[in-house]
Structure 1
Amino acid sequence: MILLSRNSSMVLREVALQVGITERAVQRIIADLEEGGVIRREKVGRQNHYAIIGDRPLRHPIEAHRSINDLLELLAETTDEEA
């Protein structure tokens, strides 16, 4: 989700390589996120573009008071501090 939020047109094969899991596993995760209303896939020509629906709440009840945008912002801050 982080990679797709930074590059909406990244192909799933590249996501798999960067994350270190199989392309098939990435496909299952993306399908789960689509089904849960967390991301939306749009076909642009022959390529898929992914939109993160950031105002959605996190799925776990303990974190449900936070949105996906909150999580992505926190992770972006952490990544910026490490750089």
Structure 2
Amino acid sequence: MSEQARQWHFLTHHARVLFAIARDPAVRLRDIAALCHFTEHTAQSIVTDLEQAGYMRREREGRRTRYTLCVEGAPRHPAEAHVPVRDLLEVFTTHDGQP
């Protein structure tokens, strides 16, 4: 197994994209990709996954896309099902008590 294959990351790509959108609902797809350190194609695929799972909605505003998070539910994994998505986003998008 290669060194790269053995690496793991604390947050999933999906979580990183959700946090990027939480910080800036008008963020561009290319900026999500840059912030998360993966390709624009990967970012697009993850945004689609998140929308289909009900974590967010996309709306066109002229030439831009605006994202609306749907944070009332809980994560899909049973281990986190008791924690609202809103609370997780707050932890990961707030620094020193400031959003």
Tell me, yes or no, whether TM beats 0.5.
Answer: yes
Cα RMSD after superposing both structures:
1.3
Alignment length (residue pairs): 80
Higher helix share: 1
Q: Which runs of 5+ in 2 are unaligned?
A: 1-17
Q: 2:96 matched to 1:80? A: yes
> Which residue of structure 1 lines up, in the alignment, with residue 49 of structure 2?
32
Structure whose CA Rg is larger:
2
Unaligned runs of 5+ in 1: none
Question: Does residue 6 of structure 1 match 2:23?
Answer: yes
Alignment TM-score, normalising by the size of structure 1: 0.88
2:8 matched residue in structure 1: none
Counterpart-to-counterpart distance in 1, 2:20 and 2:70? 14
Residue 80 of structure 1: how far off its partner (Å): 3.0
Q: Report percent identity of matched pairs.
A: 36
Runs of 4+ residues deviating >2 angstroms: none
Post-superposition Cα deviations, 1:21-67, rounded to whole Å, max 9, x if no partner, equal: 00000011100000000000011111110011111111111111111
